[in-house]
Structure 1
């Protein structure tokens, strides 16, 4: 899947436990059969079995993340997160279904036997519903918690007006955020619109509300290498998006993806 890999810049601990996520194999098999039998058009439609399972997993990640925060988020804000998760899930499914559909024919243009096609796309699916989904799930958990925390920060900003960038809790943290550790700035400082914990995949830094005096923004905060990863360049505590529209599933989507997603939700409320 060109351009959609998710680099672990703030890398996870080597001994991290596997997230309790399992993509339902029955749903996957139904989807494969659906695609192979051409019951729908992968370019202009969204396969519902794949969507329902993907959306379920991101909803569980959101539940897990919010539950680890001490904040109580408004119902309307949770609805915004769910809506964003639904749209992101649809774009992820559109990428997945088209990636595997392109492998249905051999070099002569002949349709492969179903069993051969399933074997050929297995490594690709292993990434889509395995490795990549694991990274996306873990990051969604982190960013859902941070979104809830941000709601609390805003609620108590009159008492604790500043935020401090806390060091990563990872046993083997990446180096890309180390210059930001200890930064203290007002919650409304422009720095937080550009840099935040969670703007790298699996980042385990965090923010803490404080009344300690500001330190000023880090001098390297505008360096190209310090910019957020695509898809993580927004503040989920403000817009309710765990993944932004710059994520490759959306920004580098197949042709007709946006129309397919729009059509899918035409009679739904994501």
Structure 2
């Protein structure tokens, strides 16, 4: 019971929901015909000419996102797979890290939007080592309101294998660090079609996240030895609350878990 609970608790549901629901398209469509907003809801892999190949590789990436696996796990899964994927190690590394970071970034953005009344500012935070891009070093530390237009184009990750993230701050934290003024913003634009947030499809993201919470919650209770009454309660709550904000649904899941713990003690 304890092992299953831990596995359920650590899943980054917002990131998983985003990753699993992107449309797989061929490179020509993705790079030549899609707008930046459309690309946020799609995925492709340059060098792979068949949809099934792309689905296979992205399915393996998503498996590692769901399980917390490493690049080594992903690389082995590609090698052992039934579909021949003739891509060198550095390309696989780029695919893995770019898509994992992208999913985490979109999931993090979604969580921050849910909590923006308490933490209404974002700060770009990069890893200041020799591998950091000069442009990203210049953007490092910028603090702007969470709904500022700046984040429509500069929310990280915003390039291949980008390791930057956006951290949420309270008003007092932002003021203590120093909110970046308009005149202090560097004139740097995202490269390679990156940049932006899921803000253009917030309602769709709400449903994707709620659906994933429901799926994981039902699976969790079906696999456990939980009391039938508690399981029925959580399934009923999911049915009623599926279209409601995530925090309310999460509260009901938590209440059902407490009931199970109390009656199972």
> Which fold has the larger relative contact order, with Cα–Cα distance below 8 Å and residues 6 or more apart in sequence?
1
TM above 0.5, yes or no, is no
TM-score (norm 2): 0.44
